Amino acid sequence: MAELHLGSDVGGTFTDFVVMDRESGAFSVGKTLTTPQNPAVGVTDGAEEVLRRLGASLSDVRQINHCTTLAGNLIVERKGAKVGLVATQGFRDSLEMGRELRYDIFDLLITRAEPLVRRYLRRTVSERMDRDGNVVRPLDLDELDGIVSFFRAEGVQSIAVALLHAYRDATHEQRIRDRLRERYPEFYVSVSSEVAPEVREFERTSTTVANAYVQPAMDRYAEDMVVRFQDKGFGGTIYPMVSGGGLTTLDVALEFPVRMVESGPAAGAVAAAYYGQLLGEQDVVSFDMGGTTAKVCLNRAGTPSRTNELEVAREHRFRKGSGITLRVPAIEMVEIGAGGGSIAHIDSMGLLKVGPESAGADPGPVCYGRGGAAPTVTDADLLLGYLDPGHFLGGEMSLAAGPARETIMERLGKPLGVDLTRAAAGIHDVVNENMATAARVYASEQGVDLRRFAMIAFGGAGPVHAYRVAKRLGISRVICPLGAGVFSSVGLLVAPRSFDFVHSYITRLDSLDWDYLGEVHRGMESHALEILTAAGADPATIAMRHTADMRYVGQGFEVNVPLAREDIESRDHRRLEEVFNSNYERIFHRRLNHVPVEAITWRFTASEPPPRPEMRFGSPPTSQYAQYPKGLKGPDGLKGTRPIFIHEEGGYADVPVYDRYSLQPGTAFPGPAVVEERESTVVVGPDARVSVDSHLNLIMELEQA
């Protein structure tokens, strides 16, 4: 019997699928509109459909790897649970005090994201720990009864507990957690010493509150999804992806759902790293443009960039510090622009703008014919000829050009005094320039020259816009994988089972308590083995990576330093100091040997070797694509021609249109051209040449001035 693995990615607009037979390498892909009212419906129904194309059913699936934007959307849309916060007396306002910094010092009307828990729902207990974990004031558990009675009367569903210095000693938080679960089991409970055991009260509290905020809805969603899958015959295991790019058990993911906030984009970055290694490209920039947002991730030496802090639901989309801060391990991705559903409008200055508002999946762009009334990027791409109205989603969904034409003209063309073509081209140009500018700024902040990177373009809209964005960035090589529109789902099938752990222990290295440090690391390693073994990983293959956030005494920010196990077991502080100094010098080209070094936070990642399935790129299942090659003129995959807007010429020109599934390795042709597949479309510019490699990747080589 075939061993089928399914990857499912629930996005803001579409839900994507990849099913692969682990034995033969045969795969099938699918895309369906997300069902916002109940995403579990779209996941299960869409999975059935894509399996049907392979002649299989959910009873044949052994493993489902899953990611979703639901947690992030709950925060962005403020649709999470009503949360009550229990804090140390005197610290109920840490969420509003934040870092006491202004993200824009020149804006007198600055606004910040409102905390996820209102002030009247933040209650305190009169306990106190000091920074070394010593009890200054004992905890009185009887204070909880009045607090919980108040929460119950106010309709609170989930309780977050974040006490001062709980990262150093979690005893008080654990006692509160146990009392709440024993006496008040109707509440969800999140405690900071489990969710984010790190120094810095604001960040730790914010992360714990966010976990409590999304937990009830994520729990309901997962329960509904599991039941629906089981009712349809699925008897295997579901592995959710976390923002760090690893897979974990469903129980662990639901205990810490805040770690899933960026799971969908993380899957795309994992897939880009896999393809980069497959093609021998060490440095690649992933360009993921879906229906709602566009993001980039830098992959250097085959590894995605990583971060330990995220920010979601920003008041100002590209202003760091204006959103909800989360201290969670994650693949570092930067939102650089809008998606296909992003709305174009005229601002108060009379200028054309695109986003950040999105039409999403419901009602969606005007051309979807589902009630959308605002012009979007997808509407513009349709009118410019880049999308075939009869071929969207392989012909399963028709696009209506008439309503899109009328909306763009009424909302944008007439007010701006331009014709329809110029209005649509303006939308396309603005979104491309926004994305290129944001990517260029991010790269410069990282000290990276993107001109020496290759671009891997994916997402439903990524290959449509990749040529123009790459042209602006000076990138000369763009790779569009087969199935680019569901590429994040591919990442789910090549991701390892892994998990990240963290523990703050602030100490100068020359006064480090080696016994305590050893106890901390042994505890993290033991917990890691427990989680990954439960997830099905072979303990003998689990790799463990240690790092520490260190700085010179007196500095306000840290450098994350990789450590070998021998560094920790050496019990020699001078060895750790040299590791830090070497890393500091590599980054800043100087070292301060006369200044003592202190460690702030110790981090640990456990991971199994990433799977490297032999996907049968050369022969995708023909049965699922049987309806697409209609109208082919010959074996070269040429379907015909159609007019598209050529920016260099300022008008429309007929260009060849190719069927993606008929292009064989070695095929080559010049631009301009359009290459269509079921889930996406590749738009090739006039000064690019296309070739198809042995893995059926479409490679665009651009001429750069």
pLDDT tens digit sequence for 567-607 = 888 899 999 999 999 999 988 889 998 999 999 999 999 99
pLDDT class of 633 with cuts at 50, 70, 90: very low
Residues 6 or more apart from 3 whose CB is under 8 A from it?
21, 22, 23, 62
CB contact at 8 A, 178 and 71? no
Residue 621 is predicted with a pLDDT of 40
Rounded-to-integer distance, Cα 453 and Cα 286, Å? 10
Greatest pairwise CA separation for the chain in angstroms: 82
CA distance 371 to 364: 7
Q: How confident is the model at residue 629 (pLDDT cuts 50, 70, 90)?
A: very low
The residue with greater pLDDT, 116 or 390, is 116
Confidence (pLDDT) at 625: 39
Domain 79-216 of CATH type 3.40.1360 = yes
DSSP string, 260-291: GTTHHHHHHHHHHHHHHHHTT-SSEEEEEE-S
CB contact set of 155 (below 8 Å; sequence gap of 6+):
82
pLDDT at residue 360 above 90?
no
CB 250 within 8 Å of CB 240: yes
Residue 626 pLDDT greater than 70, yes or no: no
Residue pLDDT, tens place only, 269-289: 999 998 888 888 889 999 998
Contacts for 14 with CB less than 8 Å, ≥ 6 apart: 31, 32, 33, 34, 290, 291, 361, 460
Is the predicted pLDDT of residue 235 greater than 80, yes or no?
A: yes
pLDDT at 503: 92
pLDDT tens digits, one per residue of 377-398: 999 999 999 998 887 766 667 8
pLDDT tops 80 at residue 316 = no
Q: Alpha carbon of 222 to those of 139, 226, 227, 509: distances in Å?
A: 35, 6, 9, 44
**Closest alpha carbon to 233 in 10, 22, 51, 1:** 51
CA–CA distance, 467 with 59 (Å, rounded to integer): 41
CB 664 within 8 A of CB 618: no
pLDDT tens digits along 168-211: 999 999 999 999 999 999 999 999 999 999 999 999 999 999 99
The pLDDT, as a whole number, for residue 616 is: 58
What average pLDDT does range 346-367 have in this prediction?
82
Instruction: Report how far residue 664's alpha carbon sits from residue 423's, in angstroms, rounded to the nearest whole number.
Output: 37
pLDDT tens track for 642-656 = 999 998 888 999 999
- Which range has the top average pLDDT, 379-383, 624-628, 630-634? 379-383
Mean pLDDT of 108-127: 90
Six token digits for residue 53: 């194309």
Give the model confidence (pLDDT) of 76-88 as tens digits. 888 999 999 999 9
341 vs 405, more confident: 405
Geometric angle at alpha carbon 82, from 81 and 85, rounded to 5°: 115
Rounded Cα distance between 571 and 299, Å, is 34
Q: Is the distance from CB of 685 to CB of 468 less than 8 angstroms? A: yes
Residues 459-501: tens digit of each pLDDT: 888 999 999 999 999 999 999 998 888 888 888 988 998 888 8
pLDDT attached to residue 109: 78
**pLDDT score at 394:** 64
What is the residue extent of each domain of the chain? 79-216, 342-428, 498-607, 622-692
Specify the pLDDT at position 490.
86
User: Would you state the pLDDT for residue 689?
Assistant: 94
**Percent share of the chain, pLDDT over 90:** 52
- What's the whole-number average pLDDT of the chain? 88
**CA distance readout (Å), 522 to 446, 497, 513, 518, 519:** 34, 20, 14, 6, 5
Q: Residue-wise over 178-215: b if at least 16 C-beta within 10 A, else e?
A: ebbeeebeebbbbbbbbbbbbbbbbbbbbbbbbbbbbb
pLDDT, tens digit, 9 for 90 and up, residues 408-448: 999 999 999 999 999 999 999 999 998 898 888 888 888 88
**pLDDT for residue 361:** 63
pLDDT of residue 546: 92
Q: How far apart are CA 289 and CA 437, in angstroms?
A: 15
| pLDDT tops 80 at residue 566 | yes
